[in-house]
Structure 1
Amino acid sequence: MTSATAPFTLQDLALENQFANLPAHFFTHLSASPISQPYLVAASKTAADYLHLDQACLNTPEFVSYFSGNQGIPGSKPLAAVYSGHQFGVWAGQLGDGRALLLGGLSHAGQHLEIQLKGSGMTPYSRMGDGRAVLRSSIREFLCSEAMAGLGIPTSRALCVIGSDQMVFRETPETSAVVARIAPSFVRFGSFEHWYYNDRMDDLRLLADFVIEQSFPELLDHANKYQTLLAEVTRRTAELMAHWQAVGFMHGVMNTDNMSILGLTLDYGPFGFMEAYDEKHICNHTDQQGRYSYRMQPAIGNWNCQALAQALSPLIGSVEDTNAALACYPTSYRNKWSELMHRKFGLNTVQDNDLDLFADFFKLLQSNQADFTLSFRNLSKLSNQISTKDEALRDLFLDRQGLDDWLVHYRARLAMEGSNEAGRHTSMLASNPKYILRNYLAQVAIEKAQNKDFSEVEKLLQILENPYDEQEENEDYAALPPDWARHIEVSCSS
């Protein structure tokens, strides 16, 4: 047995599947389908630390066997959960874990973290799918999960990617993979919708009580704990949307079955980070109507909370109480957005015209199609007075005079609060990342990995774990994307 502080080793792993304590109709117990000759593509040491797992085990055959699903971890009770959801705004009915298995979790220092395998084979909820994930999408999810953690954005984590030469067919034949994901809970908005739309109110209450007890125990003594649960989830979701917007992240498929009850970024698929700024940008080429475009994300977050509210309304008890819980969304979003923007622009105080100043900069980004990340990063390095440091920012804008005019107002705003230049630089560089997971960087890593060269996945992981650091030796990874990157398309297919 380990001591209270020693990390878990593979020899003393003993999982506990708390979700398995719910009635049997909430899930289906089944084992992962073995994958042919699995091998380690990449593992995250920081995710291992988060799980309190000994890093020394990451490169062992036993690790590959456990987290490919080929060998059961002691104490695991693998299960696929049932849920439903709205997909692209349309009720889709029953869905569920079609290619994922919840193994159980580990508890340490008062926190319980669950482990889920994605791509582990068919389940009763696979519908027409094969239950597998391809190497391409698995690498993208692995890298983006850890990149978002590096950015400080609430997210599920990814412990590892296990590859195999076993082929699956998507648009073309591809090799398969399994991702081991970590989160305190994988319960979704759609988990509640499932029982509501099937008129199973006792099961709806059971799930709500389970989630409150496991994830929100501070709500247990509230007069209307279900109303408070909705309010807390609504607040977290609103703040998550502000975080996404502030770094230019686009999820791509914000269906209610992909929304975490904990306000985490969950289910990475056709995601993207904004490059040439366009508020209408759609990162998922399946999304023909632009429902999940960048500018729509805050509104869709609100729409999804309303869908959750509908499902919880029988427990809350009245329309008025339900609406009262939802009412925090606009304010929570605006407050978090304002907080994040003031950090990004290096402002320590809040003034009446700040939102106009921010909006004018975004208008310049839009009209010039300037790179989102590099624009904010170079803004972070400006002096309080005009200097040669302006040139790196000006080079990103065709309308240099328009930018110069805005900078006059920006510098006047800095002077208004007596901005300390050195302190502002430090604060802004810690709020405006230099490195993001650009699609072309992921594509290069994927193509090398498809040829059994995993070095680029590992390098990207190391860079993205520290996105705010200068990392001068990795300067090329912060550059504008090459022309060929414009032709990369991502969709729901994986």
Structure 2
Amino acid sequence: MTVHIPFQNSYSALPDSFFARVAPTPVAAPRLIKLNRPLALQLGLDPDLLETPEGAEILAGKTVPSGADPIAMAYAGHQFGNFVPQLGDGRAILLGEVIDRHGLRRDIQLKGSGPTPFSRRGDGRAALGPVLREYIVSEAMFALGIPTTRSLAAVVTGEQVFRETALPGAVLTRVASSHIRVGTFQFFAVRRDTEAVRRLADHVIARHYPELLNAERTYHGLLGAVVARQAELVARWLLVGFIHGVMNTDNSSISGETIDYGPCAFMDAYNPSQVFSSIDEMGRYAYANQPRIALWNLTRLAECLLPLFGDDQDKAVAEAQDILGAFSETFSAAYQAGLRRKVGLFTEREGDEALIQDLLDAMAKNQADFTLTFRKLAADDARSEFMDPAGFDEWAGRWHARIALEPQTAVERQAAMHAVNPLFIPRNHRVEAVIQAAVNDDDYAPFDELVKVLAKPFEEQPEYAAYADPPLPDQRVLQTFCGT
């Protein structure tokens, strides 16, 4: 049977300046190593057909399915604060869009599918390691309930790519609500193409924020909606100890999803200044900096939208500043509410914020594991995570007095805390071990098992209990690397 994907192509119907039409570059011998069958079904695709050799050829870009209109999207971006007027999809090709089982429009994109006009002298390919990392972490984020792009499939190409050394080549099939970024708006704004900015804004509103279609101030509403989604997204990152690593404006999604998993990582020991990315030498995108950087990125979006606010630019700037001013309140509300849930508080009282901050300070001082401290707190067993347990004991006394004021029983509180505090996260040493087994030995059993465990992050899985353990000193991963 022929693999059929019911593509729609609303983005490629936009003007030619929005993209370059380019087909994936065929590869030698594609082999499917992982298909996300539940996601395939959600997209209305037949997973059995996608697992055939014909399906592997489509997922590797060797064959372009009927109905696809492959394009590389144009965008610009601030990279570590430095503006680059033209970036674009240098190793990714959007095949098209499908309407999923829930009636939502979803992009299907191949990442690592060959050079495009935006490749900037790159080969347009992806190595196996970064493909597996993105598959693992994006699906883990989905299971944690965090808005994210998702991974439909990983395919090895039968070819090598050359970075510091020769590595197996691979292609990731990525699914997103869209791949429109802050940098997409910047691409047109820097060229003073206000009509293209308007066209893009109208497309985004129709696709992601249709409730604004009849709003009195549509473009003001768009900025406000993106601010709210980004504020809530970054709060969710912090609540699970996630560090994106490369929060450039071209990696900031207009839909409010986590996008572009490069040197991303989850913290082991709690450290607000934690940086893993090898290219973030100044710590711009450190864990605790992420809210500030998100607002910085949103300010760049506001600058792009100013011409759409009206002819009076002073008034437009004041209005944009007012909208941006909502970020801190939205972020703080989401973050503090999440922290209260993590420590078992379901009502809000004066002093709660200080109480929780005292715990975080003690965790940082004692190098307590971020994930396990909160998980064990539900069973009142977090003391073991602290180098100086006495420091925890003093805080725990105040916490016990506070939770005594809550209406929930101990059993109810523990269940609620377990529902928001994961036991299993994609720990860096586990991810690296999976990658090494695949790259060095063509062994995907560790990858499959890790993906399976991470699909149920809040559940006790006794047979996989070791996956919850933090790394031993000789297992610690101190740096993560971008895949380009």
TM-score (norm 2): 0.96
**Is 2:16 aligned against 1:16?**
no
Contact 1:250 1:293 in 2 (8 A): yes
1:34 — aligned with what?
Answer: 26
**Is 2:466 aligned against 1:482?**
no
**Is 2:39 aligned against 1:50?**
no
- Shift of the alpha carbon at 1:487? 4.5
1:4 — aligned with what?
Answer: none
Secondary structure of 1:94's partner? coil
**Is 2:57 aligned against 1:65?**
yes
- Shift of the alpha carbon at 1:483? 2.1
Answer with 335-344 or 480-489: which moved more: 480-489
2:94 — aligned with what?
Answer: 102
* 1:328–1:49 Cα change, 3 Å: farther
2:343 — aligned with what?
Answer: 345
**Is 2:308 aligned against 1:308?**
no
Distance in 2 between the 1:11 and 1:164 partners?
19
- Shift of the alpha carbon at 1:107? 1.0
Alignment of 1:139-154 (within 5 A): 139-154=132-147
2:80 corresponds to which letter in structure 1?
F
Secondary structure of 1:243's partner? helix
- Shift of the alpha carbon at 1:56? 2.6
- Shift of the alpha carbon at 1:241? 0.6
Give 5+ residue unaligned stretches, structure 2: 311-315
1:417 — aligned with what?
Answer: 406
- Shift of the alpha carbon at 1:10? 5.9
**Is 2:393 aligned against 1:404?**
yes
Decide which of 95, 118, 122 is 2:111's aligned counterpart.
Answer: 118
Alignment of 1:147-166 (within 5 A): 147-166=140-159
Contact 2:428 2:477 in 1 (8 A): no
Q: Percent identity?
A: 40
1:6 — aligned with what?
Answer: none
Cα deviations by residue, 1:137-163 (Å, 9 ceiling, x for unpaired) = 000001111000000000000001111
Cα deviations by residue, 1:394-423 (Å, 9 ceiling, x for unpaired) = 221111111011000000000022431010
1:5 — aligned with what?
Answer: none
Distance in 2 between the 1:488 and 1:250 partners?
13
* 1:103–1:274 Cα change, 3 Å: same
Secondary structure of 1:404's partner? helix
Decide which of 357, 360, 363 is 2:358's aligned counterpart.
Answer: 360
Contact 2:130 2:482 in 1 (8 A): no
TM-score (norm 1): 0.94
Contact 2:4 2:65 in 1 (8 A): no
Decide which of 281, 291, 296 is 2:274's aligned counterpart.
Answer: 281
2:313 — aligned with what?
Answer: none
2:418 — aligned with what?
Answer: 429
Decide which of 78, 91, 108 is 1:86's aligned counterpart.
Answer: 78
2:476 corresponds to which letter in structure 1?
R
- Shift of the alpha carbon at 1:58? 4.2
**Is 2:193 aligned against 1:195?**
no
- Shift of the alpha carbon at 1:165? 3.3
Cα deviations by residue, 1:333-385 (Å, 9 ceiling, x for unpaired) = 01111221111111110011100111001001100111111111111222xxx
- Shift of the alpha carbon at 1:110? 2.2
- Shift of the alpha carbon at 1:54? 2.9
- Shift of the alpha carbon at 1:49? 3.3
- Shift of the alpha carbon at 1:235? 0.5
1:261 — aligned with what?
Answer: 254
1:369 — aligned with what?
Answer: 367
Contact 2:3 2:50 in 1 (8 A): no
2:452 — aligned with what?
Answer: 462
Distance in 2 between the 1:432 and 1:372 partners?
10
1:380 — aligned with what?
Answer: 378
Decide which of 434, 452, 471 is 1:445's aligned counterpart.
Answer: 434
- Shift of the alpha carbon at 1:252? 0.1
Contact 2:60 2:113 in 1 (8 A): yes
- Shift of the alpha carbon at 1:173? 1.6
Distance in 2 between the 1:487 and 1:458 partners?
21
Distance in 2 between the 1:49 and 1:289 partners?
43
Moved over 4 A (4+): none
Contact 2:20 2:71 in 1 (8 A): yes
Distance in 1 between the 2:365 and 2:84 partners?
38
**Is 2:327 aligned against 1:335?**
no
Contact 1:439 1:485 in 2 (8 A): no
Cα deviations by residue, 1:206-254 (Å, 9 ceiling, x for unpaired) = 1111111122111111111111000000000000010000000000000
Contact 2:427 2:470 in 1 (8 A): no
Contact 1:42 1:457 in 2 (8 A): no
- Shift of the alpha carbon at 1:491? 2.2
Decide which of 69, 84, 102 is 1:77's aligned counterpart.
Answer: 69
1:291 — aligned with what?
Answer: 284
**Is 2:204 aligned against 1:211?**
yes
Contact 2:90 2:118 in 1 (8 A): yes
Cα deviations by residue, 1:176-220 (Å, 9 ceiling, x for unpaired) = 110000012110000001100111111111111111112211111
